[in-house]
Structure 1
Amino acid sequence: MNHFALPGGAGLDLVRYPVDPRDRLRAWDASDEYLLQHLAAAEDPLDDLAGGDGRLVVLGDRWGALTTALAAYEPVQITDSFLAQRATAENLARNGRPADAVRLLSSRDEPPARVDVLLVRVPKSLALLEDQLLRLAPAVHAGTVVVGAGMVKEIHTSTLELFERVIGPTRTSLAQRKARLIFCTPDPEVLAARAADPWPQRYAFPSDVPGSGALLAGRTVTNHAGVFSAERLDIGTRFFLEHLPVPADGHHVVDLGCGNGVLGLAASLSAPRAELTFVDESFGAVASAEETFRANAAPGAEARFVVADGAGGLARGSVDLVLNNPPFHSYQASTDATAHRMFADAKRALRPGGELWVVGNRHLGYHVRLKRLFGNCRTVAGNPKFVILRAVRGD
């Protein structure tokens, strides 16, 4: 499952991160293969890039397959995902590529000043693609080779229109194994006339959310591109806020998978002397949570903002309360692996008597895993779609 065949017969040993031998999901898909085959068959646009200098940019590489395969060209990888960065580092090491062959940049870092080849792995979020293309546009010139890749179900008319609006004329390849390539020709006039980047965006928190949500009424919520439910409060978080526990002063509260940070902010407003930590694997999410918190927190309220894989980096037994609205998609694959990893990390970080509160879709059955892991799980509240669960760490 780990062998990724390259054009010409060579191959790579690729894994997702964190490495789990039981994980049957591959660290690449047919669109990664299609893109590399195109580069190998075409009049090679990479021939002049062996010196590096950040002229080859790989945008949105999900698990480092493209970056590892092209490491000899010293690419710059830009991603919003901490896990993608860690997977890339892991895959470079597994395949004998030096770590310094690649520059790993986040979606919030300053992009390179010049890009000669731009390879785009189309993200699930059109907003994230818009933000990243607009941030890179000043570095693109008339001679830049721009090639995108994605599965057919990921590439829509709106995707192509976005490339055309920001960079220039765009066309697609024929589909191959349900994958498609995007070819975009930079047009200096289009590049010069591009609109300003609309991200981050902000909205006023609604005034009709009871419970802890009432503390947020009218406050400004900041959302960087790609953050879940960036335009409005999502219904799962709304339900969670109606039943959110009030932490004790001085307690350490973690908003795990924080998104734009409204859960942690509500906890802080209800207990201003509590210590908050916001954690997410998305660089944009953590930036959103920090801006939301700084704009709305009570004077003197304390918080840390951490880009990481779950709560694994927090000291064992250092946390009193974990609030978690876990994702259940990994790109196009539905999986509960991320949620289960979050639950295990939360238990490790909680002190004896500390609590994990989780909101999730009712059909996901999180109570089974929580009861097995913690030895207990209580349903706090439920409606036809969502359930809120509470698990307490024992001694």
Structure 2
Amino acid sequence: MTTPWGDLALTRFPEDPREQLRAWDASDEYLLRHLADEGVPLNGTVVVVGDRWGALVTALAAHGPVQITDSFLGQEATRANLARAGVEPGAVQLLTTQDPPPARIDVLLVRVPKSLALLEDQLLRLAPAVHAGTVVVGTGMVKEIHTSTLRLFERIIGPTRTSLAEKKARLIFSAPDPALERPVNPWPYGYSLPEDIGAASGRAVVNHAGVFCAERLDIGTRFFLRHLPESRGSRRIVDLGCGNGVVGTAVALANPEAEVLFVDESFQAVASAEATYKANGVPGHAEFRVGDGLAGVAAGSADIVLTNPPFHSHQATTDATAWRMFSGAHRTLRSGGELWVVGNRHLGYHVKLRKVFGNSQLVAGDPKFVVLKAVKR
């Protein structure tokens, strides 16, 4: 990526030489160009929110920025990109969306996330640290910035305007208003599950902002909950890509002797899963892990892996995550262990499962979804 401060070699995480998607886009370039062209003073505490693969903080590393991200993969990419650029360890502070934000912010740069709820939560958490002199600039592709996006900045920060579009990217300029009365942060948000889904019927769900289908049970998970495998005794079960933890909690409720591992690359998701599990007073044992899928989990250590793989990476459609989840599950399962997958029928996961496991069985299906099982031989 060419920046006003030099050229940077950037990659996503995990690194894959076959990867066709870049670790930055035109909105990152537009923001950096604006900061340089307008001579924006990068003094005091510079906070960068939602920097997807570390492009922004790597370019601004000389100013000691603070990165706030919900993505473990994004944070690991940032570490790798900083090291590749020769940035000294500790020069950039890496925080998660679950960490307390800085007490004072002098420059706030916001990469608009896909989730409006996550943007709302982060702006409300950061607003008390913003003062009248804070420079606030948001950035995103035109298709990511809507009227609702601008209204959030208006309601939480102050008067807001946008730039002209360049290369399908746009900037957001917000002038902090210290007298603004901000709404109460509605996150985390809770609701009760419906009564027709098995062991978890009527149970509480806790959702931090940005978690998939945080305001209601999505139809894919509802279908999965009706067709989960029966387990008895001391089994180790993994809720892979756990989101708010509904699936793993349902398994634990049905079998209190099970040991459930909740895994997701989103810090918000794992916090939601832990809150959901605790809200239901499940007597079993659980572990909550933020990470790159099943990387770092011992091989041959699980009896069952349950997953609903995502098929988007930000705005890009990709099956790379599903491939890695299936391969990771095959490594992690014991001989005879089972991977259970729910997905949209059109995604053709049965083909991938046969390539990884050598087998795939249809457990249940409707016009939109299928539940598939693959067994490690």
Alignment equivalent of 2:186, drawn from 158, 174, 198: 198
Alignment equivalent of 2:27, drawn from 31, 39, 45: 31
Q: CA deviation at 1:249?
A: 1.3
Distance (Å, rounded) in 2 between the aligned partners of 1:215 and 1:388: 18
Alignment equivalent of 1:173, drawn from 153, 158, 163: 163
Aligned residues of 1:227 and 1:260 also touching (Cα < 8 A): yes
Aligned residues of 2:335 and 2:376 also touching (Cα < 8 A): yes
Distance (Å, rounded) in 1 between the aligned partners of 2:253 and 2:60: 48
Distance (Å, rounded) in 2 between the aligned partners of 1:313 and 1:295: 28
Map 1:298-317 onto structure 2 (within 5 A).
298-299=282-283, 301-317=284-300
Distance (Å, rounded) in 2 between the aligned partners of 1:215 and 1:145: 50
Aligned residues of 2:199 and 2:251 also touching (Cα < 8 A): no
Q: Which amino acid in structure 1 is aligned with residue 295 of structure 2?
A: G
Runs of 4+ aligned residues of structure 1 deviating over 6 Å after TM superposition are: none
Q: CA deviation at 1:297?
A: 3.9
Q: CA deviation at 1:195?
A: 1.1
Aligned residues of 1:247 and 1:253 also touching (Cα < 8 A): no
Map 1:1-150 onto structure 2 (within 5 A).
4-7=1-4, 10-46=6-42, 48-49=43-44, 55-150=45-140
Does residue 330 (structure 1) correspond to residue 327 (structure 2)? The answer is no
Distance (Å, rounded) in 2 between the aligned partners of 1:129 and 1:245: 36
Distance (Å, rounded) in 2 between the aligned partners of 1:7 and 1:177: 17
Give a deviation string over 1:129-176, Cα, whole Å, max 9, x none.
000000001100000000000000000000000000001000000000
Q: Which amino acid in structure 2 is aligned with residue 58 of structure 1?
A: V
Q: Which amino acid in structure 2 is aligned with residue 339 of structure 1?
A: A
User: Where does residue 375 of structure 1 map in the other structure?
Assistant: 358
Give a deviation string over 1:187-232, Cα, whole Å, max 9, x none.
1111xx111111000001111x2xxx22222211000000000111
Q: CA deviation at 1:45?
A: 1.9
Unaligned 5+ segments in structure 1 are 50-54
Distance (Å, rounded) in 2 between the aligned partners of 1:293 and 1:164: 36
SS in 2 for 1:99: coil
SS in 2 for 1:13: coil
User: Where does residue 52 of structure 1 map in the other structure?
Assistant: none
Distance (Å, rounded) in 2 between the aligned partners of 1:32 and 1:320: 43
TM-score norm. by structure 2 comes to: 0.99
Q: CA deviation at 1:98?
A: 1.6
Distance (Å, rounded) in 1 between the aligned partners of 2:316 and 2:352: 20
User: Where does residue 216 of structure 2 map in the other structure?
Assistant: 232
Q: CA deviation at 1:366?
A: 1.0
Unaligned 5+ segments in structure 2 are none
Distance (Å, rounded) in 2 between the aligned partners of 1:43 and 1:298: 55
Alignment equivalent of 1:318, drawn from 292, 295, 301: 301
Give a deviation string over 1:41-72, Cα, whole Å, max 9, x none.
002221x34xxxxx100000000000111111
Give a deviation string over 1:328-355, Cα, whole Å, max 9, x none.
0101100010111111111111111111
Aligned residues of 1:269 and 1:297 also touching (Cα < 8 A): no
User: Where does residue 264 of structure 2 map in the other structure?
Assistant: 280
Distance (Å, rounded) in 2 between the aligned partners of 1:118 and 1:28: 19
